[in-house]
Amino acid sequence: MNPFTGTGVALVTPFHDDYSIDFQSLKKLIDFTLAGGVDYLVVLGTTGESATLSPAEKKLVLSTCIQHTKGRVPIVYGIGGNNTQAVLDQISQTDFKGIDAILSVSPYYNKPSQTGIIAHYTAIADACPVPVILYNVPGRTMSNMTADTTLNLAQHPNIIGMKEASGNLEQCMRIAANKPKDFLLISGDDILSKAIFSIGGEGVISVLANALPSTFRDLCNGSEDASLQAAFSLLPFNDLMYTEGNPVGIKNLLSHMGICGDQVRLPMLRASIDLNLQIQEVYKKMN
């Protein structure tokens, strides 16, 4: 079985109130998600607030995750950006010991053509010593990777999958219908995971799995009824996770669970009083 099927958890990076990294809570979160049945960790993606961590901090977070996980599950590391050469430089400067694949977001802000996106990812895949998972998230990048672009890149021997967060099920169907057999279609939307599985998706990279790992274990690996009920159980939580931006919501939920604090770095702000109360109420009902 491919190691990147099932549930990948997009780990948050816990902070102390002074905004320094809370490494003890990070270790606690890793243990909690692994005990809940996640299949792999995604370190320093968007949910990990990679945009506001320094290179030195990223190195420390990555090494902590590798050392604490001790090979129990694979690790996917976030390396991406809108400057292709800068991404290639980061790849050349990264020690890939303990890293099993990278997750690389489609270039944002520049809004390149589809041909430009293909050239960007081809350069990354040619240079990267571990497999590459593409990441399409138009809501953040302001440009969509079409199904044809994904299928073109799926032919590259070092590109193994796509985290699809376009919310476009027809686009996902076109990828599923025409992709190579060993190319992974991975849901990038927690709430659409069950629907994407039904058309040929093979896993999810999840925000909510930080707090609800066993729910995603059931969603990905349970019986049809258990999987459907797990998917339905996400409905009260999902919108609240993004009302004030990610990872504001999930960190607030984790704080109610006693796993880590809810501090985020500017320009994000910790959950408002109203959002905090809403998440607290949903969490109480869950328990």
What are φ and ψ of residue 166, in 5° steps?
A: -80, -20
Q: Rounded distance, CA 80 to CA 162, Å? A: 14
163 is catalytic: yes
**Which residue among 58, 163, 194, 251 is the active-site one?**
163
Q: Exposed e or buried b for every residue in 95-112, given b needs 16+ CB within 10 A?
A: eeebbbbbbbbbbbeeeb
Is residue 167 within 8 A of residue 144, CB to CB? The reply is: no
CA nearest neighbour of 150 among 139, 140, 138: 138
Q: What residues form DSSP beta bridges with 184?
A: 161
Q: SS3 for 124? A: helix
Residue 243 marked ligand-binding: no
Q: SS3 for 18? A: coil
Residue 122 marked ligand-binding: no
135 is catalytic: yes
Which residues are annotated binding-site positions for pyruvate?
A: 47, 205
Active site residues: 135, 163
Which residues are annotated binding-site positions?
A: 47, 205
